[in-house]
Amino acid sequence: MFVGFDYGSANCAVGVMQNSEVKLLPLTESSHYLTSTLYALDRELIAEAVHQQMPDSLKAEYAKARASQLTRARSARRELDLEPNEQAVFVGEQAVKAYLDMPEEGFYVRSPKSFLGATGLRADQVALFEDIVTMMMLHIKQEAESTRGLNAKGAITHAVIGRPVNFQGIGGEESNLQAESILRLAAKRAGFVDVDFLFEPLAAGMDYEASLDEDKLVLVVDVGGGTTDCSVVKMGPSHVDAKDRSQDFLGHSGQRIGGNDLDIALSMKAFMLHLGLGCHMVNGLPVPSKPFWNAVAVNDISAQRDFSSLNSRKTIEELIKDAKRPELLQRLLKVQKDQLGYRIVRSAEQVKISLSDADSVTANLDYVCPNLHAEVSQALFKEAIELPSAKIEALMKQALEIAGVKPDVIYVTGGTARSPAIYDKIAAMYPETPIVVGDHFGSVTAGLTRWAQKVFA
């Protein structure tokens, strides 16, 4: 069976063709989308979970490659007093729930796709991300193959997987090759026979193309959870049936800037003043901003490692001694001790979503301090995301400059584009050009699914 597989920064989805129409397969009891998160009671237990669930034919080779991790996993299971078959690794909303129940005890990663092209990863870090992605793909594949997902139970063998134009703003093609290598190996270990890749904005555009009755030049703007990608594409009846579309793709741009960055920026602007950002020391100097940034920079490996370290805790404790408002910095210390950074960013994400339909939202931060709330207005949100939204504008201009054409239409998709603040920015750039808003979450999956039929059929 051939599928389109959107392994997204915010959500994952799988699509199949049925009766010439794209059908998204349920990945949970109540949704076609699975939140891109993983939680493990101990990070060493991820390799154990992968080994248990992967196809039997691949276990020996994997066990040889991960011998030390599997040995440490057995020790971790004993130390945690876990039963041999007791679940220790969770994916999707189960992972979110486990993290919220035990934020300080386990290993939690949100949007692992955002890290795949990171520069400077050590071999053990690459191996960890291979296992994280494999574990998620195993879970998703099993759910998609269940009778709940298909009319008749069957194996998924081939997939077209979406990828951003650039996985990272730095690192160039080397970063892209590293990320693709991780995804390809994970897919193999999850049981896929073969996979191919397609730029996500192109996939989103293909779904739109299926509705066109005349040829158009389309600027596809895909603002996702981890990346923004823009493509200028020739679309329409003259192009839709071609298997080689390389001549139709006139310009691309992409960068790791997306919904996660908006959430982080909003966390800094709206929440961190309640934790001491902007306050002063008794000597009149401002409190350093680095600990606050590290607390919420959940898509930055080095920042997260720094914030969780003992040195970071000691730094905050020293700041408390000399701060004019030590009670505020005590809240930052709690965030560090209890590892609440992800939860703060999750609160910002919920505010962002709520602001799609409201002028002002009250965020509940009582998990940091009793009765702590933060008021967030549309105006504050727009101010907070000024820098990332400017980068999105720059990517649109870059794609059009490379293509050297003026688009007939702008096709906007991606979950982050639901935000009125982002849509308004896009619309204001080219007010004379019509804008079509696609399925914010399903367009990419639909396009990947259509392309899978052409690549593998």
Helix (H, G, I), strand (E, B) or coil at 394: helix
Task: Please give the CATH superfamily to which domain 214-437 belongs.
Answer: ATPase, nucleotide binding domain (3.30.420.40)
Q: For position 383, what pLDDT does the model report?
A: 94
Nearest CA among 434, 421, 430, 443 for reference residue 376: 421
Residue 372 near residue 295, CB atoms below 8 Å: no
**End-to-end CA distance of the chain, in Å?**
10
Intrachain domains 2-192 and 214-437 with the same fold: yes
Q: For position 201, what pLDDT does the model report?
A: 83
Report which secondary-structure segment, H or E, holds 197.
strand 194-199
Secondary structure, 3-state, 114-176: HHCCCCCCCHHHHHHHHHHHHHHHHHHHHHHHCCCCCCCCCCCCEEEEEECCCCCCCCHHHHH
CATH architecture of 2-192: 2-Layer Sandwich (3.30)
Q: For position 171, what pLDDT does the model report?
A: 59
454 CB burial (10 A radius; 0-12, 13-18, 19+)? middle
Residue 15 near residue 22, CB atoms below 8 Å: yes
What are the CB-based long-range contacts (under 8 Å, 24+) for 236-240? 236/209, 236/212, 237/212, 237/213, 239/209, 239/215, 240/206, 240/209, 240/210, 240/212
Q: At residue 179, what is the residue type?
A: A
Q: For position 155, what pLDDT does the model report?
A: 87
Residue 282 near residue 320, CB atoms below 8 Å: no
Query: How many helices (DSSP H) and strands (DSSP E) are in the chain?
Result: 17, 16
Q: For position 147, what pLDDT does the model report?
A: 59
Phi, psi at 445, each rounded to 5°: -60, -40
Phi, psi at 422, each rounded to 5°: -75, -45
d(C-alpha 106, C-alpha 78), whole Å: 15
Both tokens of residue 81?
């007093």
d(C-alpha 369, C-alpha 349), whole Å: 19
Map out the domains of the chain as residue ranges. Answer: 2-192, 214-437
pLDDT tens-digit map of 107-161 = 999 889 988 988 888 999 999 999 999 999 999 999 999 855 555 457 899 999 9
Beta bridge partners, 6, equal 13
Close Cβ partners of 40 (under 8 Å, ≥ 6 residues apart): 46, 49, 88, 89, 90, 106, 107
d(C-alpha 380, C-alpha 324), whole Å: 26
Q: For position 207, what pLDDT does the model report?
A: 74
Q: For position 362, what pLDDT does the model report?
A: 96
Phi, psi at 211, each rounded to 5°: -95, -5
Nearest CA among 200, 190, 189 for reference residue 161: 200
Q: At residue 37, what is the residue type?
A: T
Dihedral, CA of residue 204, residue 207, residue 180 and residue 224, to nearest 10: 30
Angle, CA 185 vertex, CA 183 and CA 188 arms, to 5°: 110
**What CA–CA distances, in Å, run from 2 to 9, 136, 157, 161, 192?**
22, 19, 6, 11, 10
In the chain, which residues have pLDDT < 50?
152
Close Cβ partners of 341 (under 8 Å, ≥ 6 residues apart): 295, 296, 298, 304, 307, 335
Nearest CA among 78, 113, 130 for reference residue 200: 113
Residue 409 near residue 433, CB atoms below 8 Å: yes
Residue 50 near residue 62, CB atoms below 8 Å: yes
Q: For position 169, what pLDDT does the model report?
A: 59
